[in-house]
Amino acid sequence: MDELDFVAIGDITTDAFIELKDARVNCEIDDKNCMLCVRFGDKIPYENVVVVHAVGNSPNASVSARRLGLKSALATNLGDDENGEDQINALKKEGVSCDYVKVHKGKESNYHYVLRYEAERTILVKHHEYEYSLPDFKTPPKWMYLSSLGENSLPFHHEIADYIKVNSETKLAFQPGTFQMKLGYEKLKDIYEVSELFFCNKDEAQRILDTKEDDIKELLKGIHALGPKIAIITEGPDGANTYDGEEMWHMPMYPDPAPPVDRTGAGDSFASTFTSMLALDMSIPEALSRGPINSMSVTQKVGAQEGLLTKDKIEELLEKAPADYKATKIN
């Protein structure tokens, strides 16, 4: 196979989006620890169901990179069932290489239920266990993008770290998922140390660093000190920030043309777009200005992939951006 620009590594699933109307949200002080509530022991009507195949942090990233013009592949595991077949067909339709997709006989493919209420979602997840192993790349890819994996994947992380150490021409972008967050820094120290890019939000940065520090500059320095060459911390509506050991940059969010429909995949689209732009030889400020545009577009559609844009469309929207939409240095 020719050299790949972008290989995403992580679990794949099918998402069934169930839109709720007859529900409410109860939150503690400061809108934290919110709970989605429906009547217990009752029949709850729903508006509609939308089924989306071949999603998850890494599959979303592989599709994003392909739409942006990169030669993209996904390394993942699935079962030999109908859902797995649908997932492979969806990837092929997008032009994502499936050469590193492993089909496990007698296993089920992941299938999640997404409860949509207003613009937020609660996801019911079940990860089937697979044996993880790194593909035998004939030519090292330019970029690896690592995200959500199952709870039996710790040795696999060490295998990936060892590969990057030996194949220094391959750069690693790491966007940790739920289980990787639970593992913490110490168990994944080798992954942090070989990462070119590291993506998390502000709350996750505080959790990783075990701190209540609120200053974004200190959080960027803290994540960078763990090993990644470029730390990227997002702040939701307050934008995104980067630090490469020398310069810090801040980027506001791109304005929404309409209220968000569904925020599923917004983080994936930002991180994968930022990574893809660096793969296309753009600078950090240039990549930082394009990531939020793809995130904005994704939130205007149901699911994590329908709203993903081509590079030409991102450039078009960038030309139309308001004057204050630009990367600025953080002093």
Q: 65, 72 in Cβ contact below 8 A?
A: yes
Q: Does the pLDDT value for residue 223 go beyond 80? A: yes
What pLDDT is attached to residue 1? 54
Residue of 82, 65, 76 lying closest to 99 (CA atoms): 76
Q: How confident is the model at residue 208 (pLDDT cuts 50, 70, 90)?
A: very high
Backbone angles phi, psi at 182, to 5 degrees: -65, -35
What pLDDT is attached to residue 263? 85
Q: Which residues contact 58 (CB under 8 A, 6 or more apart)?
A: 8, 9, 10, 11, 12, 74, 76, 145, 146, 147, 148
What pLDDT is attached to residue 70? 98
Backbone angles phi, psi at 135, to 5 degrees: -60, 160
CA separation, residue 109 to residues 16, 104, 261 (Å): 14, 9, 27
CA separation, residue 163 to residues 6, 24, 99 (Å): 15, 47, 19
CA separation, residue 169 to residues 99, 139, 145, 194 (Å): 21, 10, 14, 12
Q: Which residues of 125-158 are buried (b: 16+ CB within 10 A; e: fewer)?
A: eebbebebeeeebeebbbbbbbbbbbeebeebbe
Mean pLDDT of 54-69: 97
Residue of 234, 268, 271 lying closest to 253 (CA atoms): 234
Residue type at position 294: N
Q: Does the pLDDT value for residue 31 go beyond 90? A: no
Residue of 271, 232, 266 lying closest to 249 (CA atoms): 232
Residue of 199, 236, 241, 196 lying closest to 218 (CA atoms): 241
Angle at 243 between CA 238 and CA 247, to 5 degrees: 110
Mean pLDDT of 149-157: 94
Angle at 164 between CA 217 and CA 127, to 5 degrees: 80
Q: How confident is the model at residue 165 (pLDDT cuts 50, 70, 90)?
A: very high
Q: How confident is the model at residue 118 (pLDDT cuts 50, 70, 90)?
A: confident
What pLDDT is attached to residue 14? 97
Q: Which residues contact 148 (CB under 8 A, 6 or more apart)?
A: 10, 11, 56, 57, 58, 176, 177, 178, 179, 180
pTM of the model: 0.93
Q: Which residues in 139-190 belong to E strands, given as ranges?
A: 143-146, 171-174
Q: 163, 135 in Cβ contact below 8 A?
A: no
Which tokens sit at 237? 């509506």
Q: How confident is the model at residue 167 (pLDDT cuts 50, 70, 90)?
A: very high
Q: 74, 91 in Cβ contact below 8 A?
A: yes
Mean pLDDT of 51-76: 97
Q: Which residues contact 78 (CB under 8 A, 6 or more apart)?
A: 12, 84, 87, 88, 101, 102, 103, 104, 107, 109, 110
Q: Are strands 120-124 and 6-9 parallel, antiparallel or unpaired?
A: unpaired
Beta carbons within 10 angstroms of residue 293's beta carbon: 24
Nearest-angstrom CA–CA distance, 171 and 101:
21
Q: Does the pLDDT value for residue 114 go beyond 70? A: yes
Mean pLDDT of 123-140: 92
Q: For each of the domains in the chain, give its residue range(s) and CATH number, in order of start.
A: 6-12+57-108+129-329 (3.40.1190.20)
Mean pLDDT of 111-122: 90
Q: How confident is the model at residue 262 (pLDDT cuts 50, 70, 90)?
A: confident
Percentage of the residues of the chain whose pLDDT score is greater than 70 = 99
Percentage of the residues of the chain whose pLDDT score is greater than 90 = 89
6 pairs with which residues across the strands? Answer: 72, 143
